[in-house]
Chain A
Amino acid sequence: MPSRDDIKKSLTDSFKGAIVKMEQPIDSRLFVDIHKEKVREISNAIVKMGGRYQVSIGYDNIARDKTLGLVHAFAFDRENLFLLLRTSAPADAPVFDSITPDIPNAGWSEREYQDLLGMKFTGHPKPKRLILADDWPAGVYPLRKEIPWNLMPPAAEDVAYQLDEAPAGCTTVPVGPFHPTLHEPAHFAVFVDGETIKGCDYRGFMTHRGIEKLCQTQVSYNEIPFIAERICGICGSVHATAYSQAAEMAFGMKISRRAEYIRTIMLEIERIHSHLLWLGVAGHLIGFDTVFMQAWRVREPVMWLGERITGNRKTYGMIVIGGVRRDITPEVKEDILNVIKKIETELMTIHKAIAGDSAIHKRTKGVGALTREQVIDWSLVGPVARARNVDIDARRDLPYAAYDDMKFSVPVVDTMDVWGTVVVRILETFEAISIIRQALDKMPNDGPILTPVTEEIPPLAHAISSIEAPRGESVHYIITGENENRPERWRVRAPTYPNLQGVPAMMMNNQLADVPIIIGSIDPCFSCTDRMMLVDMQSGKAKEVSGKELEELSRKLTTGR
Chain B
Amino acid sequence: MWLTSKIKQVLMVLKPGTVTLGYPFIPNPAPKDFRGQPYWDHHKCIGCGGCAAHCPARTILVRDLCQELRVMLYDSSRCTYCGRCADVCPESAITMTDKFELATGDREDLTERMELFMLTCQRCGRCYNMETENIIDKMDLKGYRYDNLDARALIPKATECIDTAVLTETETYQRPAK
Give the interface of A toward B (CB within 8 A). 135, 137-140, 145-148, 151, 153-154, 156, 158-160, 162, 217-219, 222-224, 226-227, 230, 290, 293-294, 297, 300, 304, 307-308, 310-312, 315, 317, 325-326, 349-350, 352-359, 484, 558-559, 561
In the complex, are the beta carbons of B170 and A354 less than 8 A apart?
no
A307, B56: Cβ atoms closer than 8 Å: no
| Interface presence of B44 (CB below 8 A) | no
User: Is B34 close to A, CB under 8 A?
Assistant: yes
Q: Is B8 in contact with A352, judged by CB distance below 8 angstroms? A: yes
B5 at the interface (CB under 8 A from A): yes
How many residues on chain B are close to A (CB under 8 Å)? 49
**In the complex, are the beta carbons of B5 and A147 less than 8 A apart?**
no
Asked if B125 CB lies within 8 Å of chain A CBs, one says no
In chain B between 6 and 35, which residues have their CB closer than 8 angstroms to a CB of chain A?
Answer: 6, 8-9, 11-13, 15-16, 19, 30-35
Q: How far is the CA of A559 from the CA of B151 in the complex (A)?
A: 6
**What distance in Å separates the Cβ of A210 from its nearest Cβ neighbour in chain B?**
15
Is B124 an interface position by the 8 A CB rule?
A: no
Which of these, A146, A219, A310, contacts B162 with CB under 8 Å?
A146
Tell me whether chain A's interface is mostly helix, strand or loop, or mixed.
Answer: loop
Nearest 5 A/B pairs, CB to CB = A311-B35, A353-B8, A223-B56, A226-B56, A137-B170
In whole angstroms, what is the CA distance A30 to B78 when docked?
Answer: 41
Cα separation A308 to B14 with both chains bound (whole Å): 28
B33 touches A353 (CB 8 A): no
- Which residues of the other chain, A, contact B83 by a CB distance below 8 angstroms? 311, 317
Is B56 touching A227 in the complex (CB atoms < 8 A)? yes
Chain B residues with a Cβ under 8 A of chain A = 1-2, 4-6, 8-9, 11-13, 15-16, 19, 30-35, 54-57, 77, 80-84, 87, 96, 150-152, 156, 158-163, 166-167, 169-170, 173, 175-176, 178
The contact of B9 among A135, A145, A354, by CB within 8 Å, is A354
- For A151, give its contact among B1, B156, B162 (CB under 8 Å): B162
Measured between alpha carbons, how far is A307 from B5 in the docked complex, in Å?
Answer: 34
| In-complex Cβ contact of B170 among A140, A304, A349 (8 A) | A140
Docked Cα-Cα span, A148 to B166, in Å, equals 11
> Are A145 and B151 in touch, CB under 8 angstroms?
no
Residues of A within 8 A of B176 (CB): 159, 162
Determine which residue in A153, A160, A484 has the highest number of CB atoms from chain B within 10 A of its CB, and name it: A153
- From known contacts A145-B160, A148-B160, A151-B162, infer whether A307 and B12 are also in contact, taking CB-CB under 8 Å: no
Complex contact A137–B2 (CB within 8 A) = no
Chain A residue nearest to B170 (CB atoms) is: A137
Chain B residues with Cβ below 8 Å from A311 are 31, 33-35, 83, 96
